[in-house]
Each structure stands twice: as C-alpha cells, then as structure tokens.
Structure 1
C-alpha cells in the first residue's frame, strides 16, 4: 500500500505538472525543431537592429551589478521566510535557462555585449540570476525541509490526530475484518453498481477501517481504478456534483480519452459543466454535440465504462460533515446520477447524523432511507475499554521508556489488584475512543515531559485527564479547595504527614458508604456536581473513578498531590 500511495502521488503530481506545462513544453519542442530559423529571426529583428546599438559603460555595469545583488538578497530573504515555489515555475525557468545557456555559450557567443569592466561577463547574464533564482530557492527549501524533519516519537512532540491508512498501523485488530470485507466487495458479481457503507459513530475508527478496506482492494487487483472523492471540500451542491465529475474525468483520462470526454458531456448535461467553454459553445452551435437526453447520455456512458473491463472504486469520506441538502445530493449521485454498473462506492458515515440530516431535509422514513442506497452496511463498533487501556499504555511506554516500570505499576499491576477487590474503575474509562486517546496524549505527553522530575506520574496523569474530560470537576478542586478538601490522616497513624481528603456532604453523620476506597460518594464535591447537573450518571462514575484513584489512601511518594506542599 505504501508503494501504491507513493506511485499514485508521483503520477498525480506528474500529471498535474504536465497539464500546467503543456503549452510551454510544446513551444520548447517547436523551438528545438526550428532552432536555426529562430536564431535568424533573433539576429534580424532583435540583435542587429536593437541590441547592437547598446554600448558598454561603467554606469551600465553598476546598474546590472545592482540588479544581481538585488536578486541575491531577494533569494536569501525568501529562503529565510520559507518562500514556496511551484514545480511548474521551476520547470519553466529550467527550460529558459537551457535555451539561454545554449545561445550564450554555443551559438551566439560573440553577439552578447560584454561588461565594460569585466570582459568575460555579458550584460544578458543577468538572466542567469533571474532564471536560477526560483530553481535555487526550490533546492534550498527542499534540503531545509529534509534537515528540519522532527524525530518521530520524541516525547516532546505532538502527533497528528489522523486515522491510520495502513493495516500495519492497526491497534484494534480490525485488519482481518477489513480484508474479509474487501474480498466480499471484489467478488461482487451483480451487473449493477454497488454501494458499501462503513458505519460508525464519531471517533469509532470508521475512517481507519475505511482506509484498510481501500488498501486491501488495491492489493487485490492492480486493474482496479481507485478514486478518492471528498465532497466536504466543496461549498455548494452544484460544486459537489461538478467536482465529482471533474474528478472522474481526470481519473479516467489515463484509460480512455473518449470515455473521459463522454463523462464531461454527461456532466455538462447534468449540471451545465463547462458552460463558459468557448470551444463547447462553438461545437454546440454547429450541432456537432448531439442533443441527447440525460437518460441516453447515462446509458451511453454506462456502456462505454463497461468496455474498460475494470471496476471503478470510489471512496467517499467526511460524508457526515455535509449539510442535509448536500448529503441528499451525494446520495443521489451514488444511487442514481452516477450509479454506473461498473462502479463500487465505499462511503464512511455516522448513521445517526445521516438519519437526522435526512429528516431535517424532509425525507420520509429517513431511518430506512439508507437501505435504498447501500447494499452492504458494515457497523464499526466502538473500541472496548480494554483496547483503549492497552493503547494508552503502548503510547506512554513508547514516549517515556525510562518510566516503563512506573507506568506498568499504575496501569497494569494496580489495576489488577483493585479489580480483584471490586473497588476502583479503570482511570482510562473516561476515554471513549482512540481519537480521544490521541487528543489527550497530544496534551499530556509534552506537558509531563516538561515536569517529569517534579510530579508523581499517576497523580499528574489523573489530573490532566480530569481537566481534559471533566473540567468543571477539575476547576472545583482548585477554585474551592478550602470548601471541598480537608487535611486528615485516614490511617490515624502518628508520625505520618496528613493528606488531603474530600469533605463529606453531611458533616454530622458518618457516610453511609461502606467502601473504604470510594471517597467520592457522599462528598461535598459529588453533591455540588449533582446539584449543578453538570454531568450524567455515567460521567459522574468516570469522575468518581478519577477522584478515587487520585485521593484514596495508599502509600504514595512524596511528590503526590495529596500532600499540602504539592497542592497548588
């Protein structure tokens, strides 16, 4: 998959570059074929009547040296700013540099006016500076970007919260399921289009699963045509439809120009694409473009696509970021307007958002509407608490290998002990999905790395997680410390430093809670959070787990927050 992605990226860039440079390249080819004729034209109309009148002087030398210095200073300034130069601009300057060097040193050497002070330099050599300027800037930027790539996995670095794109990155054991689905899709034999829905709630990992399915399909048959379409990048319904057909046209150009042209004509009929194209206007005015109906054009294109003898796979992500009318229009594309027999659509979406959007758009029976669009729907279940727990441990031990023993003691050994006692919940239970984990780690890892020798790992982890997920509870602990906490040695053992504990909601009566480890239940903090209706019962259970793990009585190091000196 990695090599496929690399090859696809190179092909895409090369195709885009050639599209931008087709006219300069054609001109350059023509110039090479007619180089002698162009040389005579240059001599007869430029060099002899105009440039021959120019005379060397000290003033001219100074002027051209000034231009050269300005170009060099500009180059340095732009390099420091990280100035971007398009690849097509570099290619055009390279072509211009080639022709200048050819004329300057090979054919017209004696016709270039030398400097007054330096005979070996020519006044036109200023073009060397101008043409080399973007080339050097591109080279400098390339080497600078290579040298400044951060070390992967460094403890102080952020990681992008992006879905995985390869089965080798799978941490939830879903790769085999993605492989089975891809086989089922490839073996689909019906003579009509297929639409597959990858369904899951936000953060469930549906996009990661979506990419693994794509990787398996790519590996299964190199004759497949793979197209990525992201409707979210567009700003209106018309632009979504227009961009879809433009993407399809560009993707099919490498297989058949006739089919690509037919796609354009069909799209023109659907949404009026290229209506401002002068050539199309002339053709239509002379009746060279047949006035076929939409159905006739659909059938024509459908039959042509079959002759490719290739399956076209179109992958659509970010579907549930669209507005209701945009979602409906995209569904129409899949099922109707672009439901060609050789097409397979793989779409990732949140079913609840889809149904809600269709209801808002006025679609009757919205909860079953997707059944008419997608022949296969694959439900992606959320990651289990055990999977999330394991992923947290893996990330932390990778980021802080020197703290592996402390991490293991907190997340594994201590968890097993407390699970046997049936007391405390896992502190990572409040992280609902892998995306939650990644976002939290982007905050925790660099912050902990800055204070690693000043805090107790487990306390710092719990406090950061409490702040990340339940900021109201976190803020109460610090804004109302005197009201919610009191110093007391729960063990009542003399000579021990008092620890902070939560004040009880009923100070005149001992708490009815018999669980020694559950100090949150019956506390003032619980009372205030319930009174303010800040959290649901499930969220309160998460807060309870975090607070109990933070403050319950156990042998803690001197850096623990339970001691007054460290609570700030």
Structure 2
C-alpha cells in the first residue's frame, strides 16, 4: 500500500473518530463568524457559475486527453463526496443557494470538484480508440531477457547448474557468487535466468530472493542506506524483530560511515572487522536473529560495474564484512576488468586476486560469438521487414564476407551493440527500403554506427576519397570506387588498383590523420571494399550506392520531395502513355529527369509482360529523349538517351521481342518502330543520332528490326524534311547531314585498320541545293583556322576546309566549278561574300590547299577568326 493510501485512510479515520470536536471547531471559527453573515447576490452567483464552467472544462480536457485516473484519486473523491452528502442532507446547516435557483447551493458547486476524477474515468469508456492494424514499434529497449524462451545465447543450462550449487551449498558463513563478463555480454539476462531457476527449485520457500541495484543511488551513504532498507522490507514479513534490528544496525553503520571512510580502507583490506565493540555486538546479535528465521537469503546485485571506485569497494565490504551474515548468499554481476581497475585506482595491492577473497566462485560468461550476433540480427530484421526476407537471407548467407565467423570482421561485439545498431537501422531502412539495396544500406549504417567519423567523411568529402571517372550506361550510370593513392600522380597507374585498403586514399587518411589502429582500419576496409570494390560492379543493382544518382539517398532517413521514388516510377510506368508523358513533364519541373533516365536504363524485356506495356515504354523513352532542358553547362539541349541501351531494347536478336509480344510477326513490330521514327518531330536530332549509331561498322541486320536500307531511308527523310522547312545554316543541318553516312573499318595496303565513310545516295545533292538558301554562311563554315590561332604570327594562317571535297562535292574542282557557275538569281538572298571567298579559294589552290595568309574584308569572316583566337 502506497503512502498516499495510508495518509487518506489515516485522515478519514481521524475525521470519523473526532467528528464532533472538529465540527464544533468548524462552527465556531468559520460558520458562525463568517459564512452565516453572507447573503446570496448576483455577484456571488457569477463567481460560482464561473467556477462551475472551469470544472466542466477540466472534465472535458481529461476526456479528450484520456487522462489517467488512479485508484487513489477514486478513493479520495469518493470519501470527499460521501462526507459532503452526509453534511448536506443529514446535518442541520442552512446552505445558501443561487438567487435564481435556490435548490442549487454554492457549496454544491465546490463539491463538484471532487467529481472530476470519477466523471473523467466514466467518460473515457466512450472514447473511440483508434484500431491498431500493425505493430510499428521497431525499437529495442535493451531490456534483459526474462525467460528461457528468450535465451538466444543458450545459457540457461549454466543458470541451472549455478542454481543447483547455491541450493547445495552448506557453509556457515556468507558466500558470494560472481557472474563476470564484459560490458553488454548479457549479465543481467543471465541473472534473470538464474532467478527463474531458483524460483522453480524453491518450492518449499526455503530461500528469500532479494534484488538490490546500487546504481540507483549517488554516493556511499545512500548505497548503505538503500541496501539495508531493501533487506528490511524484504525480511519484515518473516520477523518484526529482524526488521527493527536491521534498522538499528544500519543506523550505527551510517554513523561510522560519516567519518572518513578512506582512512579505514587499509584496515578493511585485512578482511577483519575494524568496528567498534558495539558494532561487532550488533552484527553478532543480528546474525543470530537472522538465523532464527531458518531461511537462506539470496541477494542479487546488478549494475555493479557502473559505480565509482569507492562505491564498488563499499559493496564488496557489505558482502564480505558489514552484511556478511551467515545465511546470506550474494550473486553479483560485474565486469572483472573494470573491478580490477577500480581497486587499483584505490591503491589496493594485487587487485587481480582481490575478488577471489570475496567470491566463492566466479562464473565467466563466454562472449557472444559472431555467429550468434549474425543470427540475431538476421532473424530480427526478417521479423521487422518481412517483404525483404529474400534479400536479407541472401545477404546473411554463408558466403557473406562481413559475417565470416572465423574472424571478427563485423564491428559489433555483443548483443547490446547489435540491439543499439538495430535501433538506428530498422526505422531508417523501413522508410527507404524500396529506394536502396539492403546490403549497401546495411554496410553504410554499420559504418555510421561504429566509425561515425568515416561515415561523415564519405558524406561531406566523397570527391576526396571516391572516384567516379567515366560514364557507364545500362546498369545505373556513373559509378564510384575507392581512390587509389597513386592514381593522381601518374595517369598510367589509373588501372592499377591497390591490393590493401590501407593503401587507398581513405585508408592512408585513417592511419596518418585520424590515428586509427591497423585493426580498425582493417574492419573499415572490409566494409568499404564490399561497398565500392571495382570488380563487383557487374552484379550491382541500379539502386546501389556505387551509382552517383543514388549516393545521396543512403545518407538520409527519408526521401525528399525532389527525389525519384522507386514506387513512384513503377506506378507511373504501369499507367497509360499519356499519363506517363504528364509524369515526365512533372519530373522535369522537379529536376529529377537524370534519375528517370538511369531508371529507364534498368528496364528489362524479361520483366515486361505484354505488348501494350512494351510499346508504351518504347514510346515513353523516345518522348523522354526529346525533352528539352536547360543546364548551366550545356544551355538548352535535348536530354537524349544512351544509344546502345536503346538499341538493345528494341533489337530483335533471336526474335526475342517478336516471339514474346507479336506472336512471331516481325512486320508488325517493324511497323511499330517505323511509326515512331516517321512521326517524330523536327529537328529529329535524337532519332537521327540513334539510327546513325545503329548502322555503324558493327551493324548486323539479323540483330535489329530494321534493315540498313530502311534506316538509310529514314535518315535521308529527316534531312530532306528539315532542309525543306529551314532557311539558314545551323548546327542541326550539319548534324542531320553527317548522320546520313556509314562508317566502315577496313585494312589498307599496309594492313593497317582505317575508317572510311560513305554518304547515302542523294544526301549530298540535298545539302548542295540547300546551300543556295544561305550561301554566305556556308562559305564562312568552309574557312579553317590554325588550332592555336593568335599564339604566334605563324598561327594566323587560314585555309579551306577539306570537308568540301571529302563530305560534299567529292573534289575541290567540282566545288569551284559549282561556285563559279552559280546563278545568283537562284539564291534565296543576295551573296556578299562569294567574290572574296573565290579570291581566297584561288590563293589556297595555288598553295596546293595548304593554309595561307589572307586578310578578309567581310566582317563576319573577321569576327569568326577573331573568335577562334587562342
């Protein structure tokens, strides 16, 4: 019974017992001189009405907040209301009421205050509780286990053995059992298992089990006081005499302890009694009295190794001396290394063997194995993230390098570490599990948990320690790997990877700047090599941390709105084409199209289930590639798409696509691709670049849905259509023109591999005819300067572009004749540069088309050469 119940019952009893004198005192001091003089009026009515409103408001707030009402509140309110009802209806008092309703008395309002708790409790029954559909508590409170069923470390057999030893011990003095183990090794859990075994064996109640936790106290005196108070309360049911005797004995000890305890430490080391004669007598008297209850007392002491050195010594003194009663058994859990260090701090000689004088037996708990930690983490994660069971089981398989049990590769040393790690991992992973791969996220969070400074370096300074040279498509985009400490010294060493992690830039930084020891560097290295080892790339999911587009996701708990959710992408892809287009436009505004591109790269024919799905994805890719965006580096440009990836996606090698989606009808699939290509919009740049890429010198008609001639026809159509609608020369004209050629690699007479190109039929004539629309700009393009114009006098020479004969006219002579024979009436606009260019051309011809010194008078030619100066 709590002290509040005791006070309430005591107060009620005194009120009933002394009711008459209390009533007389109340009448003489309050009723007759004060309350009897008051007359009801509207002001008093208003005051009590406001009080009633506050009472009603308090009941409402309690209802809304579901305030807890204790049993004591119910009891106190019931007694108060009962007493008021008795006074109100059975005593001869003239209660004043409201002026407008005399039946309601002023004191009735005040008595309503005591109805707040009962009314709140009754109304809470009608509160609609939200139904919990699932348990979202993923945190471990690091509570010790309570039963054999939770014994993940299989230690219950040892608890049974120690329980047998305690029951079988027949010594005539206090004995102590030490349960030793390092921090986090499960000592408290083991004590709980031992208590369960003792409860099972204690069928005849021969033992009294007491728990004492000294860590709840601050200082030596509170520990002594709390220890004997705990013993008092536990033994009181068996003897009031023992209760009183312990009280007197503890008071005597506390009086002594107020002197300088440190001065008497060396005397105590002899383990003899250094007490005054009256203390020794009190001890002997209490010891005899304790024997008379004919029961053995088992005292469990936990959290012993969380105390200060002097407090630890006080506990040892209690066990061996001041509370070393004959029928007492102490079971103490502690870290022996910490105990020895504490005793050494007190200048106690030979601290390593000191505990042997205190404890009859020390049972050392074998440290938890890596295999046990692995199994605990694995089973816990599967229970918390069931939909990722396959991925988790795959990672924790026998081949997992991080969890090899023959080496301490995982930087988690005990179950407490594992639980704390899971507390930081599970909820974060649940928020982002569809955006990352489990293995990479697990390893990075492991790094964060044990080596936070390395984690922060990777977050803040990834460019210093990671390299993402080169672009890789078809499997996620640009990839990171660990920087070799030599690769920036000599480019020839770029391909030579370090054999040991400590030779990477990050490894060297850990050793030289952060002063890590080699063992920890090795542990970090195992994690880093698993995350970024270069030889593992081909097996990486598109969600891996090695890909630049994903890297930031791994360093935050939740996705921000500007990120592309995997779920969001898949949902968009499952909708119709028009919805996909709208979604792509939305993603453009959010500036996440680069992430969309990499996700498109990962699409696999095997994962697409129908012809409709396949065709809308192909159309979506072409639509995506033609989206125009603006960047600080490229300005306005089309997004484009990796050509090889697209080629593979629409090629029909081994009739894979037509057999799966078109019932073997090749023509139907060809018509679909041609419909996309033929209906594309001007300026046709992406489609033109793509088709030109397809018909390179590796082109095989058996591997692609369109023949070479069909591709040539489409490319020629793009050029013709654009030239028909354009009136001036632009880069788009050149791009479309140069795409209308095939490149072949052949062996020359010296058996050297040389590349040759051939333009399609009629495309050169198309360009020559178009030159008439913007002749002067074409002629400006045919002026070619030295590579480092302006660096010296010799670099200011200019010449005629050899592209005139190689790409367009076939020879300089044909070009010269065409230009001389050109009728200016056929030009779309008058030429201002033709005559000067012919003069320049003639000078170059005389120099056998080597570069010459020529001063142009045509201002656009002067501006062009000026812009080319180095």
TM-score under structure 1 normalisation? 0.81
Shift in alpha-carbon separation, 1:453–1:178, aligned structure 2, 3 A = same
Q: Verify: 1:196 aligned to 2:180, yes or no.
A: no
CA offset at residue 347 of structure 1? Answer: 1.2
Q: Verify: 1:114 aligned to 2:97, yes or no.
A: yes
Q: What is the match of residue 325 of structure 1? A: 310
Structure 2 gaps, min length 5: 259-275, 553-870
Map residues 55-134 of structure 1 onto 2, 5 A cutoff: 55-74=39-58, 88=72, 91-105=75-89, 107-108=90-91, 111-133=94-116
Q: What is the match of residue 280 of structure 1? A: none
Equivalent residue in structure 2 for 1:241, among 208, 212, 224: 224
Q: What is the match of residue 430 of structure 1? A: 411
CA offset at residue 178 of structure 1? Answer: 1.7
Check the 8 A contact 2:144/2:189 in 1, yes or no. yes
CA offset at residue 379 of structure 1? Answer: 0.6
In the alignment, the residues of structure 1 paired with residue 210 and residue 379 of structure 2 have an alpha-carbon distance, to the nearest angstrom, of 34
Equivalent residue in structure 1 for 2:294, among 284, 296, 309: 309
Equivalent residue in structure 1 for 2:521, among 516, 540, 552: 540
In the alignment, the residues of structure 1 paired with residue 389 and residue 47 of structure 2 have an alpha-carbon distance, to the nearest angstrom, of 67
Determine helix, strand or coil for the equivalent of 1:124: helix
Q: Verify: 1:368 aligned to 2:349, yes or no.
A: no
Shift in alpha-carbon separation, 1:180–1:255, aligned structure 2, 3 A = same
CA offset at residue 556 of structure 1? Answer: 1.6
Check the 8 A contact 1:383/1:434 in 2, yes or no. yes
Q: What is the match of residue 458 of structure 2? A: 477
Q: What is the match of residue 551 of structure 1? A: 532
In the alignment, the residues of structure 2 paired with residue 359 and residue 439 of structure 1 have an alpha-carbon distance, to the nearest angstrom, of 31
Map residues 361-400 of structure 1 onto 2, 5 A cutoff: 361-400=346-385
Please say which of residues 371-380 and 551-560 is displaced more in the overlay: 551-560
Shift in alpha-carbon separation, 1:265–1:538, aligned structure 2, 3 A = same
Q: What is the match of residue 567 of structure 1? A: 551
Please say which of residues 172-181 and 358-367 is displaced more in the overlay: 172-181
In the alignment, the residues of structure 1 paired with residue 435 and residue 467 of structure 2 have an alpha-carbon distance, to the nearest angstrom, of 24
Check the 8 A contact 2:484/2:497 in 1, yes or no. no
Q: What is the match of residue 506 of structure 2? A: 525
- CA deviations 1:173-211 (Å, max 9, x no partner) are 112222222222222221221211111111111121122
In the alignment, the residues of structure 1 paired with residue 519 and residue 532 of structure 2 have an alpha-carbon distance, to the nearest angstrom, of 20
Equivalent residue in structure 2 for 1:185, among 140, 162, 166: 166
Determine helix, strand or coil for the equivalent of 1:344: strand
Shift in alpha-carbon separation, 1:90–1:315, aligned structure 2, 3 A = farther
- CA deviations 1:346-379 (Å, max 9, x no partner) are 1111111111111111111111110111112111
- CA deviations 1:238-264 (Å, max 9, x no partner) are 121122112222222232222111111
Q: What is the match of residue 356 of structure 1? A: 341
Q: What is the match of residue 583 of structure 2? A: none
CA offset at residue 432 of structure 1? Answer: 1.1
Check the 8 A contact 1:232/1:318 in 2, yes or no. yes
Please say which of residues 246-255 and 110-119 is displaced more in the overlay: 110-119
In the alignment, the residues of structure 1 paired with residue 510 and residue 333 of structure 2 have an alpha-carbon distance, to the nearest angstrom, of 37
In the alignment, the residues of structure 1 paired with residue 197 and residue 361 of structure 2 have an alpha-carbon distance, to the nearest angstrom, of 17
Equivalent residue in structure 1 for 2:326, among 328, 341, 347: 341
Check the 8 A contact 1:242/1:271 in 2, yes or no. yes
In the alignment, the residues of structure 2 paired with residue 143 and residue 221 of structure 1 have an alpha-carbon distance, to the nearest angstrom, of 46
In the alignment, the residues of structure 2 paired with residue 200 and residue 424 of structure 1 have an alpha-carbon distance, to the nearest angstrom, of 21
CA offset at residue 37 of structure 1? Answer: 8.0
Q: What is the match of residue 506 of structure 1? A: 486
CA offset at residue 55 of structure 1? Answer: 3.6
Larger radius of gyration: 2
Q: What is the match of residue 242 of structure 2? A: 259
Q: Verify: 1:401 aligned to 2:383, yes or no.
A: no
CA offset at residue 165 of structure 1? Answer: 3.1
Map residues 132-143 of structure 1 onto 2, 5 A cutoff: 132-133=115-116
In the alignment, the residues of structure 2 paired with residue 466 and residue 413 of structure 1 have an alpha-carbon distance, to the nearest angstrom, of 21
In the alignment, the residues of structure 2 paired with residue 249 and residue 41 of structure 1 have an alpha-carbon distance, to the nearest angstrom, of 42
Determine helix, strand or coil for the equivalent of 1:564: coil
In the alignment, the residues of structure 1 paired with residue 318 and residue 405 of structure 2 have an alpha-carbon distance, to the nearest angstrom, of 51
TM-score under structure 2 normalisation? 0.55
In the alignment, the residues of structure 1 paired with residue 291 and residue 219 of structure 2 have an alpha-carbon distance, to the nearest angstrom, of 31
Shift in alpha-carbon separation, 1:173–1:307, aligned structure 2, 3 A = same
In the alignment, the residues of structure 1 paired with residue 102 and residue 145 of structure 2 have an alpha-carbon distance, to the nearest angstrom, of 62
Please say which of residues 77-86 and 468-477 is displaced more in the overlay: 77-86
- CA deviations 1:322-361 (Å, max 9, x no partner) are 1111111111011100111121111111111111111111
Check the 8 A contact 1:389/1:428 in 2, yes or no. no
Check the 8 A contact 1:456/1:559 in 2, yes or no. yes
Check the 8 A contact 1:486/1:503 in 2, yes or no. yes
Shift in alpha-carbon separation, 1:408–1:443, aligned structure 2, 3 A = same
CA RMSD of aligned residues (A): 3.8
Structure 1 gaps, min length 5: 1-13, 276-290
In the alignment, the residues of structure 2 paired with residue 27 and residue 194 of structure 1 have an alpha-carbon distance, to the nearest angstrom, of 46
In the alignment, the residues of structure 2 paired with residue 343 and residue 458 of structure 1 have an alpha-carbon distance, to the nearest angstrom, of 53
Determine helix, strand or coil for the equivalent of 2:182: coil
Please say which of residues 218-227 and 552-561 is displaced more in the overlay: 218-227
Q: What is the match of residue 163 of structure 1? A: 144
In the alignment, the residues of structure 1 paired with residue 502 and residue 126 of structure 2 have an alpha-carbon distance, to the nearest angstrom, of 59
- CA deviations 1:402-447 (Å, max 9, x no partner) are 11111111112652xx69xx99999971111111111111111111
CA offset at residue 141 of structure 1? Answer: 9.2
CA offset at residue 525 of structure 1? Answer: 2.0
Determine helix, strand or coil for the equivalent of 1:499: coil
Please say which of residues 30-39 and 92-101 is displaced more in the overlay: 30-39
Shift in alpha-carbon separation, 1:80–1:306, aligned structure 2, 3 A = farther
In the alignment, the residues of structure 2 paired with residue 94 and residue 523 of structure 1 have an alpha-carbon distance, to the nearest angstrom, of 76
Q: What count of residue pairs does the alignment treat as equivalent?
A: 525
Determine helix, strand or coil for the equivalent of 2:480: strand
Determine helix, strand or coil for the equivalent of 1:121: strand
In the alignment, the residues of structure 1 paired with residue 308 and residue 125 of structure 2 have an alpha-carbon distance, to the nearest angstrom, of 40
Shift in alpha-carbon separation, 1:175–1:138, aligned structure 2, 3 A = farther
Q: What is the match of residue 453 of structure 1? A: 434
CA offset at residue 39 of structure 1? Answer: 6.7
In the alignment, the residues of structure 1 paired with residue 124 and residue 249 of structure 2 have an alpha-carbon distance, to the nearest angstrom, of 43
In the alignment, the residues of structure 2 paired with residue 251 and residue 392 of structure 1 have an alpha-carbon distance, to the nearest angstrom, of 40
Q: Verify: 1:295 aligned to 2:275, yes or no.
A: no
Check the 8 A contact 1:166/1:211 in 2, yes or no. yes
CA offset at residue 136 of structure 1? Answer: 5.5
CA offset at residue 483 of structure 1? Answer: 3.0
In the alignment, the residues of structure 2 paired with residue 213 and residue 151 of structure 1 have an alpha-carbon distance, to the nearest angstrom, of 37
Shift in alpha-carbon separation, 1:62–1:478, aligned structure 2, 3 A = closer
Equivalent residue in structure 2 for 1:154, among 136, 149, 159: 136
In the alignment, the residues of structure 2 paired with residue 143 and residue 390 of structure 1 have an alpha-carbon distance, to the nearest angstrom, of 46
CA offset at residue 130 of structure 1? Answer: 2.7
Higher RCO, Cα 8 Å, sep 6+: 1
Equivalent residue in structure 1 for 2:254, among 264, 271, 279: 271
- CA deviations 1:194-229 (Å, max 9, x no partner) are 211111111111121122212222333262322222
In the alignment, the residues of structure 1 paired with residue 293 and residue 178 of structure 2 have an alpha-carbon distance, to the nearest angstrom, of 25
